[in-house]
Structure 1
Amino acid sequence: MTPGDLHDPFFCAVTSTGFTRARVSDLAAGRCAALRVRDLLPRRMVEETLKALEARAFDAYGRRRVNPPVMRFGVGVSDYCKDGVLTDAYWPAVHRHRTDWESLGLPFDPFEECRAALGADWPGGIRVGRRSGREMGAGVAREPNQGFRVHFDDALREFFCGDLLDSTLVTQFAFNMYLSVPESGGETIIWRHRWSPADEAFRLPGSYGYDESVVGDAEFIELSPEVGEAVLINPNFFHAVRPSRGARRIALGFAVGLSVTGELLTWG
């Protein structure tokens, strides 16, 4: 039997009717790699949010670091990390982000609705995280039509000069809720491979990403996005998004941390 034939029964995607305490606990404990919840929000909210966003121009993440480009509406905290520290330029960007989202004129806050649905059964509650008492960005609408390179997300490693938030985190998740999906492509691939120092030999120069050979023959799961579906993953596993073909791939996204106090804390 070759390594590629082996299967970890805990490395799986679980579909649930909601983000229950038991399911989120399973993800935190490593009993699964991803949670999928279809129709997280009423379809009316999904359609209204998409319509409002389609009328606006999206910016790109920093193109030197993120190439091929990924478009966004809102603030990406990763653009404001330098030498392991969140730079002061993040806070004016958060202010602009809030103004831009308010200008959409939606009768609801889509990020607040997503947080409420995610934390409805969580005993510790859920809220936007704070740094030095200041509230972080709520999230971002992302459009990776050309895909995301293979990478992992870990605030502890990216913001290594102290905690990113005022509360210490014990684990981290990544949340996405899909507003629009392409006719084909756009799949999220998650490999059963976590970062090790040797992986840095595969990092692309100046990039957030790695050459795909970094994951070798590791087991993987593939998630095809669906409109209205929300996915919560363990982003410490290397993951990527395949290029899209056809319609735009737009999702609301934010990071989620489980704090030592038992709260779920989010940031964009």
Structure 2
Amino acid sequence: MPDLLDVSTNASPIFTLFDAETVDELTRDHILRLAVGTLGAVRIRGFSTPEECAAIMEGLDHREFGAYDENLIFPPIAKIGPAAYDFYGAHTLTDEYWRIAEEAVRLRGRLHHGRDPLDLAVDRVSRAWGDAVVPARSRGRDLFAGMIREIPSGAKLHFDEIVREFPGILDETPASFLTLNWYLSMPESGGETRVYRRRWRPADEIHRDGYGYDEKVVEGEPVAEVAPRAGDAVLFDSRNLHAVNAIGGAGRRVSLSFFLGVTGRGPLEIWS
């Protein structure tokens, strides 16, 4: 049943339409409901098999992770592959971005029995959408997508909206922005994702805490919380303020992640 906002007995009920759903199959309707804001998050149970996750994690065992700049992102978050956000203030993507992207694609291409696991994720999203899933472009070049991240200590409350934070970098402005996280490994407890029915506002800057925000800005807001397991994927609108809980038990929290741009035409566009 949809979430209800508490109101007085004299008022009509207000449906917040911001719950979290757990499903066995992603559909076009889920993507559209996320895009228009009537679904908080969707957990796709069994997005991949345990065997696929194990093979990819085995491939990662001997790979060195980089990290976001700890002057900007703390607690540290390990990653393989560049984020466009790594190049704040550059006004464009530098040669370093393309070099790191090329190295990450080459490494990732050997992780799953000689296949790139991004291809598996893209194929499953494409089937759900009923159309192609293609790279977003910047100045005519395909952007990197499919960052692999490990987040043991959680992530602060923040939002991701590339056209607001890095204007002009995309050749085509999507109508909506979603994030897909495919979990290759999850700990025994902790590591949940919380998504709030709350977009960034300029006044929030007085509550800025490094790259994120003090959680007082979402007090009283409807929240969709998901606790995925290895092999699951979670999809949500990254413009909503969201956070990740620290892990609380044995195991690693490793995901393959990318953004999806829902455009005014058929294909979905992806980047990291």
Q: TM-score, normalised by structure 2?
A: 0.89
| C-alpha distance 48-201 of structure 1, shift in aligned 2 (>3 A) | same
Distance 1:36 1:184 in 2: 17
Out of 229, 238, 244, the residue aligned to residue 241 of structure 2 is 238
1:174 maps to 179
2:120 maps to 113
Deviation at 1:11, TM superposition (A): 0.6
Distance 1:103 1:110 in 2: 9
Give the residue type in structure 2 aligned to 1:213: K
Give the residue type in structure 1 aligned to 2:185: S
* Contact persistence 1:177–1:231 (CA under 8 A): yes
Give the residue type in structure 1 aligned to 2:65: F
Aligned Cα RMSD in Å? Answer: 2.0
Query: Secondary structure of 1:67's partner?
Result: coil
Query: Secondary structure of 1:244's partner?
Result: coil
Q: Are 1:17 and 2:24 counterparts?
A: yes
Distance 1:243 1:144 in 2: 8
Out of 211, 216, 219, the residue aligned to residue 214 of structure 2 is 211
Give the residue type in structure 2 aligned to 1:231: V
Greater mean alpha carbon deviation, residues 216-225 or residues 236-245 = 216-225
Query: Secondary structure of 1:185's partner?
Result: coil
Distance 2:112 2:26 in 1: 28
CA offset digits 1:92-134 (Å, max 9, x no partner): 1111212222354733211111011011132442112221221
| C-alpha distance 240-84 of structure 1, shift in aligned 2 (>3 A) | farther
Q: TM-score, normalised by structure 1?
A: 0.91
1:122 maps to 129
Gaps of 5+ in 1: none
Greater mean alpha carbon deviation, residues 96-105 or residues 182-191 = 96-105
2:261 maps to 257
Out of 150, 162, 171, the residue aligned to residue 155 of structure 1 is 162
Query: Secondary structure of 2:69's partner?
Result: coil
Deviation at 1:156, TM superposition (A): 1.3
Gaps of 5+ in 2: 8-13
Give the residue type in structure 1 aligned to 2:173: T
Distance 1:21 1:105 in 2: 27
CA offset digits 1:34-86 (Å, max 9, x no partner): 11111112332211011111222211111111000001122222112216544
State the identity %: 35
| C-alpha distance 79-215 of structure 1, shift in aligned 2 (>3 A) | same
Q: Are 1:222 and 2:225 counterparts?
A: yes
Give the residue type in structure 1 aligned to 2:157: V
Aligned length: 262
Distance 2:20 2:89 in 1: 34
* Contact persistence 1:174–1:255 (CA under 8 A): yes
Q: Are 1:28 and 2:35 counterparts?
A: yes
Deviation at 1:225, TM superposition (A): 2.0
1:186 maps to 191
